[in-house]
């Protein structure tokens, strides 16, 4: 008998009463001002939310940031970013993204309770770029903010093949004597632009 | 490089804890560091009015899933395979290690980066792969620190919580060439970042653990703060994910409940920085999922201990445990320390871990914080009975238990014994009270002997209440019980 049969047979021989599976609804938290809650939560996890009118305003704000001024390689999954100089369509080996300074990406939606932004592979075809860059910049229309994780999974709906990730703030660690250090392996900073308009 | 796997200490937890508590300032510091995390957890839990509903929900979902486990395992397998995942089954640690090695050899892989996985620790995968000439680098910062020091992790979420920054500075000076004496966490983390980047870029295969596996979608979820799991599997073309068979959840919607509980319970964060959902391999790449039993099906068979399979490895029970905080993770000699480890480890190997169910004061704090409502302290008590039935209780405990039960079941003997002790004890020379026989008195002073027993005081009080002008004052009996 192979391991699969062995395990399944053993488990099936243990006949247990099966309690019911609870439904998804519950008294889950909601917020009067999702943008304020989201921004506050992001600040506690070491990120920064900036409220702007449009993508154009976000990009001009970004250009003023020191990380952008110093950036040599900029990868963008958004259209119309003049500073972008890494053609992601040409990247076949993710190792070549090793020296990317800034990655710009569109978030699908943000969760107010924990400042998590959902990013799916269809907007970031090479997922390495999300983790290997030195600084991550996310753009998110404010109307795509939801309250809690229950709404989040409802919104994602049926998972198909691919990769999706909730990102909440920059990479961090507190493994050395509980001192919080931002920038463990992934992005050293996470800047989030909340757009009043969709673009 | 291999750290000696967590070996049980021959004399068990009390003897191993001796070494830890000998350094009193450090033991106090450790206690405080963990209590600080417990407080952060409390604040995070209090921020959600529905916290208790979430705990109930999580316990219900887990109870249903574990009862229906064979069904969900097959559903998960079929859905994962449909997306091109290669699913493997391993009955025990040995089979698990062989499967992983087989995949590595098939790809001629020599360099592996691994994110935190308690299952691979439990199976002692690292030393096994190293014996076969494969370099395994633990990429979680805390795990890398203890790996360089050739130690096992002392905590499942905070592997290097027993170390001070000076210790890490010394380790990095030796292995990573940092400035000797430098102990700034920012500087040390930066050095590790550079060192591990090289390992990430050079890796042939990435290994991760699994936080949750979803039967209905065939997907797996991995949570980290550092991003090491994602970086580890985003570059190489082969990803191996190792999971215990109890990690399943029926539906994607169930993830909401567990993701909300996990990080808040573990470190007090609202969510980990990265919560990654893998459904099938990257195009042109391979994703292998190894599902491991290794004793879990035996635990499932037990009505008393089944609920311990609810565990999501958040570590909250350790952070709050007065014994863990004051004795350190290494004193348990098991991969998972603390209250939950004191159930899981002896459930798998009773002889080896027989001292662990006694490393508990039965205070019940672990049960109060457990996000999936495992009745930890009840199980620990039940386990003591189990060990007694298996005749695995040390002679000293067996004899004293027999003696105690003899005395306690004879009222007159208890009363006379108490009277004699109250009279004799204050007159005894110190060495006769504080010696090897009195483990309790090792670091504590016995309270002064009260002049009267509770029974005597109660009789007097009753007598006074019955008298017409009796001034029964309740505070006269205070503290005498």
pLDDT digits (tens, 9 = 90+) for A112-154: 999 999 999 876 667 899 999 999 999 999 999 999 999 999 9
Q: What does the pLDDT average to over B365-370? A: 98
Q: How many CB atoms lie within 10 A of CB B337?
A: 31
pLDDT for B468 equals 61
pLDDT for A126 equals 74
Angstrom distances, CA of residue B436 to CA of B16, B407, B432? 16, 22, 10
pLDDT for A199 equals 63
Instruction: Give the nearest partner residue to B83 out of A19, A161, A170, using CB atoms.
Output: A161
| Residue-wise pLDDT tens digits, A106-123 | 999 999 999 999 999 876
Chain A nearest C-alpha distance from B480 (Å) = 43
Chain A nearest C-alpha distance from B338 (Å) = 19
Q: Is the pLDDT of residue A13 over 60?
A: yes
Contact B50 A181 (CB under 8 A): no
Dump the DSSP string for A170-185.
S-EE-TTTT--EE-SS
Chain A nearest C-alpha distance from B12 (Å) = 27
Task: Kindly identify which residue of chain B lies nearest to residue A14, measuring between CA atoms.
Answer: B301
User: B255 — contact with chain A (CB < 8 Å)?
Assistant: yes
Strand segments, DSSP code E, in chain A are 48-52, 74-76, 102-106, 109-111, 116-120, 135-141, 145-146, 162-167, 172-173, 181-182, 189-195
Q: Is the pLDDT of residue B472 over 50?
A: no
Contact B276 A17 (CB under 8 A): no
CA distance B117 to B209: 4
B49 CB burial (10 A radius; 0-12, 13-18, 19+): exposed
Q: How far is CA B156 from the centre of its chain?
A: 6
Sequence-separated (6 or more) residues with CB below 8 Å from residue B289: B80, B85, B86, B87, B88, B210, B213, B220, B240, B241, B242, B243
B141: pLDDT confidence band, cut at 50, 70 and 90?
very high
Contact A178 B139 (CB under 8 A): no
Q: Torsion-angle region of residue B373: left (phi > 0), alpha (psi -120 to 50) or beta?
A: left
B301: pLDDT confidence band, cut at 50, 70 and 90?
very high
Chain B nearest C-alpha distance from A175 (Å) = 5
CA distance B260 to B251: 15
Task: Kindly identify which residue of chain A lies nearest to residue B69, measuring between CA atoms.
Answer: A11
Both ends of chain B: CA-CA distance in Å? 57
CA distance B340 to B347: 11
CA distance B57 to B362: 25
Residues of B in contact with A159 (CB under 8 A): 214, 217, 219, 252, 277, 279
Among A8-22, A92-106, B133-147, B259-273, the least confident range: A92-106
pLDDT for B4 equals 44
Task: Kindly identify which residue of chain B lies nearest to residue A113, measuring between CA atoms.
Answer: B270
Contact B273 A154 (CB under 8 A): no
Of the candidates B189, B278, B263, B292, the residue with the CA atom closest to the CA atom of residue B233: B278
Q: What does the pLDDT average to over B327-355? A: 95
Alpha-carbon torsion B4, B5, B10, B12, what sign? positive
| Residue-wise pLDDT tens digits, B242-282 | 999 999 999 999 999 999 999 999 999 999 999 999 999 99
Chain A nearest C-alpha distance from B390 (Å) = 23
Instruction: Give the nearest partner residue to A165 out of B186, B250, B276, using CB atoms.
Output: B276
Mutate to test the interface with A, among B59, B234, B291, B296 (most CBs of A within 10 A): B234
pLDDT for B469 equals 61
Q: Which of residues 49-78 of B touch A (CB under 8 A)?
A: 49-50, 53-54, 57, 60-61, 63-64, 66-70, 73-74
Chain B nearest C-alpha distance from A21 (Å) = 6
Q: The tokens of B290 are what?
A: 């190894």
pLDDT for B395 equals 85
Task: Kindly identify which residue of chain A lies nearest to residue B48, measuring between CA atoms.
Answer: A29
Residues of A in contact with B229 (CB under 8 A): none
Task: Kindly identify which residue of chain B lies nearest to residue A162, measuring between CA atoms.
Answer: B279
Q: How far is CA B194 from the centre of its chain?
A: 31
User: B252 — contact with chain A (CB < 8 Å)?
Assistant: yes
Alpha-carbon torsion B101, B105, B106, B108, what sign? positive
Q: How many CB pairs under 8 A join A and B?
A: 235
Chain B nearest C-alpha distance from A126 (Å) = 8
Q: What does the pLDDT average to over B49-73? A: 98
| pTM: predicted TM-score of the whole model, two decimal places | 0.92
User: B198 — contact with chain A (CB < 8 Å)?
Assistant: no
Mutate to test the interface with B, among A184, A187, A189 (most CBs of B within 10 A): A184
CA distance B199 to B195: 7
User: B241 — contact with chain A (CB < 8 Å)?
Assistant: no
B3: pLDDT confidence band, cut at 50, 70 and 90?
very low
Instruction: Give the nearest partner residue to A176 out of B67, B165, B273, using CB atoms.
Output: B165
Contact B271 A186 (CB under 8 A): no
Q: CA-based diameter of chain B, in Å? A: 94
pLDDT for B474 equals 47
Residue with tokens 């009796």: B470
| Residue-wise pLDDT tens digits, B99-135 | 999 999 999 999 999 999 999 999 999 999 999 999 9
ipTM (interface predicted TM): 0.97
Percent helix, strand, coil in chain B, to 5, is: 55, 10, 35
Contact A159 B214 (CB under 8 A): yes
Q: Is the pLDDT of residue B140 over 70?
A: yes
Q: How far is CA B445 from the centre of its chain?
A: 31
User: B84 — contact with chain A (CB < 8 Å)?
Assistant: yes
Contact B230 A130 (CB under 8 A): yes
Contact A44 B297 (CB under 8 A): no
Mutate to test the interface with A, among B158, B216, B230, B306 (most CBs of A within 10 A): B230
pLDDT for A54 equals 95
Among A190-194, B136-140, B185-189, B384-388, the least confident range: B384-388
Of the candidates B169, B170, B172, B148, the residue with the CA atom closest to the CA atom of residue B159: B148
Contact B234 A132 (CB under 8 A): yes
Q: Is the pLDDT of residue B467 over 90?
A: no
Contact B217 A158 (CB under 8 A): yes
Residue with tokens 């565990």: B311
Contact A171 B277 (CB under 8 A): no
| Residue-wise pLDDT tens digits, B316-334 | 999 999 999 999 999 999 9
User: B176 — contact with chain A (CB < 8 Å)?
Assistant: no
Instruction: Give the nearest partner residue to A19 out of B64, B185, B231, using CB atoms.
Output: B64
Residues of B in contact with A150 (CB under 8 A): 253, 256-257
Task: Kindly identify which residue of chain A lies nearest to residue B293, measuring between CA atoms.
Answer: A7
Dump the DSSP string for B282-311.
PTT-EEEEEEE-TTHHHHHH-TTTGGGGG-
Q: What angle do CA B43, B317, B210 make, to 5 degrees?
A: 95
Q: Is the pLDDT of residue B21 over 50?
A: yes
User: B17 — contact with chain A (CB < 8 Å)?
Assistant: no
């Amino acid at each position: 008998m192979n391991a699969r049969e062995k395990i399944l047979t053993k488990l099936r021989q243990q006949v247990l009463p099966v309690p019911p599976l609870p439904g998804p609804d519950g008294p889950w938290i909601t917020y009067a001002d999702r943008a304020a809650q989201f921004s506050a939560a992001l600040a506690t996890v070491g990120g920064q939310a900036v409220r702007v009118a449009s993508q154009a305003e976000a990009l001009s704000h970004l250009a003023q940031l020191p990380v952008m001024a110093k950036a040599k390689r900029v990868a963008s999954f958004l259209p119309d970013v003049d500073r972008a100089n890494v053609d992601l369509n040409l990247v076949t080996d993710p190792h070549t993204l090793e020296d990317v300074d800034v990655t710009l990406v569109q978030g699908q939606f943000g969760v107010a309770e924990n400042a998590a932004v959902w990013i799916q592979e269809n907007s970031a075809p090479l997922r390495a770029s999300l983790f290997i860059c030195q600084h991550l910049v996310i753009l998110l229309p404010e109307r795509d903010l939801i309250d809690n994780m229950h709404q989040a999974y409802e919104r994602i709906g049926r998972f198909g093949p691919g990769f999706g990730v909730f990102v909440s703030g920059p990479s961090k660690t507190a493994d050395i004597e509980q001192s919080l250090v931002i920038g463990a392996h992934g992005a050293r900073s996470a800047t989030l632009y909340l757009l009043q308009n969709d673009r | 490089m291999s750290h000696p796997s967590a070996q049980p200490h021959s004399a068990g937890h009390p003897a191993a804890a001796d070494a830890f508590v000998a350094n009193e300032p450090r033991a106090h510091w450790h206690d405080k560091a963990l209590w600080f995390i417990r407080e952060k957890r409390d604040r995070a839990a209090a921020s959600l009015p529905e916290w208790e509903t979430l705990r109930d929900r999580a316990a219900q979902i887990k109870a249903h899933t574990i009862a229906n486990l064979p069904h969900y395992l097959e559903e998960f397998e079929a859905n994962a395979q449909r997306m091109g995942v290669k699913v493997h089954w391993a009955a025990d640690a040995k089979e698990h290690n062989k499967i992983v090695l087989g995949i590595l050899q098939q790809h001629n892989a020599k360099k592996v980066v691994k994110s935190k996985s308690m299952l691979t620790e439990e199976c002692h995968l690292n030393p096994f792969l190293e014996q076969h000439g494969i370099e395994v680098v633990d990429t979680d910062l805390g795990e890398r620190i203890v790996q360089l020091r050739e130690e096992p992790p002392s905590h499942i979420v905070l592997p290097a919580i027993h170390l001070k920054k000076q210790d890490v500075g010394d380790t990095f000076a030796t292995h990573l060439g940092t400035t000797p004496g430098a102990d700034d966490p920012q500087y040390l983390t930066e050095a590790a970042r550079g060192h591990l980047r090289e390992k990430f870029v050079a890796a042939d295969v990435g290994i991760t653990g699994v936080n949750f596996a979803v039967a209905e979608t065939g997907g797996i979820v991995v949570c980290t703060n550092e991003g090491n799991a994602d970086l580890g599997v985003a570059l190489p073309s082969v990803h191996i994910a190792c999971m215990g068979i109890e990690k399943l959840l029926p539906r994607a919607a169930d993830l909401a409940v567990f993701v909300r509980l996990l990080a808040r319970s573990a470190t007090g964060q609202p969510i980990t920085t990265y919560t990654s959902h893998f459904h099938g391999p990257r195009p042109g790449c391979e994703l292998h999922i190894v599902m491991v039993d290794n004793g879990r099906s035996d635990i499932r068979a037990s009505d008393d201990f089944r609920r311990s399979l609810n565990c999501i490895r958040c570590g909250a029970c350790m952070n709050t445990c007065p014994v863990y905080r004051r004795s350190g993770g290494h004193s348990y000699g098991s991969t998972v320390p603390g209250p939950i480890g004191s159930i899981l480890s002896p459930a798998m190997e009773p002889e080896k871990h027989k001292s662990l169910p006694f490393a508990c004061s039965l205070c019940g704090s672990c049960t109060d914080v457990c996000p999936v409502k495992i009745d930890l302290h009840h199980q620990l008590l039940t386990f003591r009975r189990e060990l007694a039935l298996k005749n695995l209780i040390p002679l000293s405990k067996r004899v004293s238990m027999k003696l105690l039960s003899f005395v306690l079941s004879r009222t007159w003997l208890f009363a006379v014994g108490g009277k004699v002790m109250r009279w004799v004890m204050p007159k005894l020379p110190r060495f006769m009270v504080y010696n090897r026989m009195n483990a309790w008195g090792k670091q504590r002073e016995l309270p002064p002997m009260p002049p009267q027993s509770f029974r005597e005081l109660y009789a007097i009080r009753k007598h006074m209440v019955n008298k017409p002008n009796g001034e029964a004052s309740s505070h006269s009996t205070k503290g005498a019980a």
